[in-house]
């Protein structure tokens, strides 16, 4: 058998060897050219549906991924009738009477419980402004408990306190049942008026545990993975689960992602009003159901 024939037969007999060699080839290509030769295979939604040089197609795929949502936002802002309003967290607090509703009481509770919602962020200005009668709030849900395990993406660091904001909301909303969800099973817990369950925001089927909670929520918070696909998963689950006058709030949105939320605001049905909030160290996207 010739050397070439022997090599082919070896790769056929040991597919794992073939996989390793292909992976090594890709790594070498990336080291030399700074891109994956098969990038368009991973971002196929944005890949040109045409033949051509792989390097050029990879570059065009990246360009399409960076341009598509901003272009969609321009279409939405120009041609759609509905738009998300925009304001700062301070303006939100002023508009909804946050001082009278307890925004600064909630700030104190976040601090006491070890949540960064009122230290690194100023989210108390928003959450403390949502409800005119806190005693009437029945059910809340926060996705993302703040894991302190460093092997989990979007962790809070070793000094983080999982569930800190749940404890703060329990004190702030005296009659509410407080629900939480997280991908890290190690930090799930149960306490008085607090129940937590597993959810993986990148897997819609994992919301099945939340689906068992067959009652509306007055407040749903997305403080989980902080990626667009994870955010959309929460919208898919949460929009139909809001009570009348209930709120869904997405936290920690980068300024670069603002066009995406302009598109979302233009897509929502009439019974949902949306606001892009410029807060401390991140944007928020708030939706209220009429």
Q: For the chain, what are the domain ranges? A: 17-67, 80-289
Residues facing residue 284 across a β-bridge: 277
Is it the case that residue 108 has pLDDT exceeding 80?
Answer: yes
**Do 225 and 210 form a contact (C-beta atoms < 8 A)?**
no
Residues 103-139 as b/e (b if ≥16 CB within 10 A, e otherwise) read beebbebbbebbbbbbeebbbbbbbbbbbeebeebeb
Using alpha carbons, list the distances in angstroms from residue 107 to 36, 87, 115, 117, 128.
46, 20, 9, 8, 8
Whole-angstrom distance, CA of residue 224 vs CA of residue 115: 14
More confident of the two residues 223 and 51: 223
Which tokens go with 3? 């050397």
Whole-angstrom distance, CA of residue 179 vs CA of residue 251: 17
Q: Quick one: three-class SS letters along 94-162?
A: HHCCHHHHCHHHHHHHHHHHCCHHHCCCCCHHHHCCCCCCHHHCCEEEEECCCCCCCCCCCCCCCCCCC
Phi, psi of 213 (to 5 degrees): -85, 85
Whole-angstrom distance, CA of residue 58 vs CA of residue 73: 24
Least confident of 40-44, 60-64, 104-108, 120-124: 40-44
Phi-psi region of 281 (alpha: psi -120 to 50; beta: other; left: phi over 0): left
Q: Please state the rounded mean pLDDT for residues 20-27.
A: 60
Cβ-proximal residues to 211 (8 Å cutoff; 6+ apart), any chain: 237
Is it the case that residue 122 has pLDDT exceeding 50?
Answer: yes
Q: Please state the rounded mean pLDDT for residues 116-131.
A: 98
| Interval 177-201: pLDDT, tens | 999 999 999 999 999 999 999 999 9
DSSP state of 39: H
Please give the share of the chain, as a percent, with pLDDT higher than 90.
78
- Predicted local distance difference test score (pLDDT) of residue 27: 57
CA 183 to chain centre: 13
- Predicted local distance difference test score (pLDDT) of residue 82: 93
The architecture in CATH of the region 80-289 reads 3-Layer(aba) Sandwich (3.40)
| Interval 141-182: pLDDT, tens | 999 999 999 999 989 888 889 999 999 999 999 999 999 999
**Do 251 and 123 form a contact (C-beta atoms < 8 A)?**
yes
Query: Strand 177-182 and strand 139-143: pairing?
Result: parallel
Confidence of residue 30 (pLDDT cuts 50, 70, 90): low
Tell me the angle at which helices 15-33 and 3-13 cross, rounded to the nearest 10 degrees: 100
Q: Please state the rounded mean pLDDT for residues 232-251.
A: 97
Which tokens go with 205? 């089927």
Is it the case that residue 106 has pLDDT exceeding 90?
Answer: yes
Phi, psi of 169 (to 5 degrees): -65, -35
Confidence of residue 11 (pLDDT cuts 50, 70, 90): very low
Phi, psi of 216 (to 5 degrees): -75, 155
Confidence of residue 4 (pLDDT cuts 50, 70, 90): low
């Amino acid at each position: 058998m010739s050397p070439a024939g022997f090599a082919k037969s070896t790769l056929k007999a040991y597919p794992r060897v073939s996989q390793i060699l292909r992976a090594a080839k890709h790594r070498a290509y990336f080291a030399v050219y700074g891109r994956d030769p098969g990038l368009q295979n991973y971002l196929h939604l944005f890949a040109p549906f045409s033949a051509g040089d792989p390097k050029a197609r990879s570059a065009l795929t990246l360009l399409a991924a960076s341009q598509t949502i901003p272009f969609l936002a321009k279409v939405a802002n120009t041609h759609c009738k509905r738009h998300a309003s925009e304001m700062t967290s301070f303006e939100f607090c002023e508009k909804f009477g946050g001082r009278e509703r307890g925004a600064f009481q909630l700030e104190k509770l976040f601090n006491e419980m070890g949540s960064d919602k009122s230290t690194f962020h100023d989210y108390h200005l928003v959450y403390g402004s949502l409800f005119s009668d806190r005693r009437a709030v029945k059910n809340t849900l926060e996705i993302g408990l703040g894991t302190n395990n460093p092997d989990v993406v979007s962790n809070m660091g070793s000094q983080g306190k999982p569930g800190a904001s749940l404890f703060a909301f329990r004190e702030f909303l005296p009659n509410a049942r407080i629900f939480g969800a997280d991908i890290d099973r190690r930090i799930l817990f149960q306490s008085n008026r607090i129940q937590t369950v597993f959810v993986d925001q990148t897997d819609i089927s994992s919301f099945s545990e939340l689906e068992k909670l067959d009652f509306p929520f007055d407040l749903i918070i997305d403080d989980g993975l902080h990626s667009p696909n994870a955010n959309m998963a929460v919208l898919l689950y949460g929009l139909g689960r809001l009570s009348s006058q209930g709120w869904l709030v997405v936290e920690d949105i980068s300024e670069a992602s603002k066009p995406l939320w302009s598109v979302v605001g233009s897509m929502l049905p009439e019974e949902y009003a949306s606001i892009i909030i410029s807060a401390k160290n991140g944007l928020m996207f708030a939706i209220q159901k009429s």
